Amino acid sequence: MAASRLLRHVDEVRRATTFAPCLTAFIMLLAGCTAAEPAPKAPVASTVDPRDERALQRDREEQQAEERRRREAEAKLDAREAREDQDWATAVPQRCEDPIDPWACEPLDAFLAKWPAGRHASRALAVRKRGAALIEARRDDYAWAAALPQACLLPRASTGCAGIDRYLASFPEGPHADEARRIRAVSVKAIERLRREEKAADKGRAAARVAAEEEDEKGSLTIRTAAEPGGSTGGGGSAR
């Protein structure tokens, strides 16, 4: 019996010795988890100076104002570019590039006068330069047609070469200038003859007008004489 009790005591001591390290480790683990939990932080009082807060507010307001100004400037620029684009389309630069009349580049000239430094100005100047020679040629053609060279070549009046004279005054070096001078030279005698004939005719008309006026004056005098008392010769003198 004593031996049995001794054996049980030895066994209990052995089990206690076996589980003691595990129990100690478990207790330490629990203590570690509790220590790892962060303690709630106390609220920190604000330390920002009110003057700094006002400065920050002014900075924010200035940034907002700058942003508004930037947007307004962009809107104005967009509106200006839109107006210029509209005027550019109205100028019809294609007409000036291939002009069919002397006035084809006038809308482009108006555009350049309004937008001399615009986005389309450089192209407008290039188009105007290319069209200038063609415009001059068209203007010369119109002036030559208006000169009526046939009226000078076969004149029916002393003014038959007036159109040729106007053309030479405007385009002394024009493409038709040599032809105009030849026609003018050929027609000199005919123009002089017509001028003499017209002068003689003017004299004849003036003489006829004077004769008609004298005849009218004689007729008026006869009528006045007949209307005066005693002006009639049919009754003779008075009886004594």
Q: What are the extents of the domains in the chain? A: 67-146, 147-223
Write the pLDDT tens digit of every residue in 93-150. Answer: 999 988 888 888 999 999 999 999 999 999 999 999 989 888 888 889 889 999 999 9
- Tell me the C-alpha to C-alpha distance, in Å, between residue 127 and each of 94, 103, 119: 8, 14, 14
Reported as a single tens digit per residue, the pLDDT across 31-68 is 554 444 555 665 555 565 777 888 888 888 888 898 98
d(CA 88, CA 60): 42
The answer to whether the beta carbons of residues 121 and 152 sit under 8 Å apart is no
Rounded to whole angstroms, the Cα distance separating 175 from 134 reads 12
141 vs 220: which has the higher pLDDT: 141
* Number of helical H runs and strand E runs in the chain: 9, 0
Q: pLDDT category, 223, cuts 50, 70, 90? A: confident
87: exposed, middle or buried (Cβ count in 10 Å: 0-12, 13-18, 19+)? middle
pLDDT at 222 over 80: no
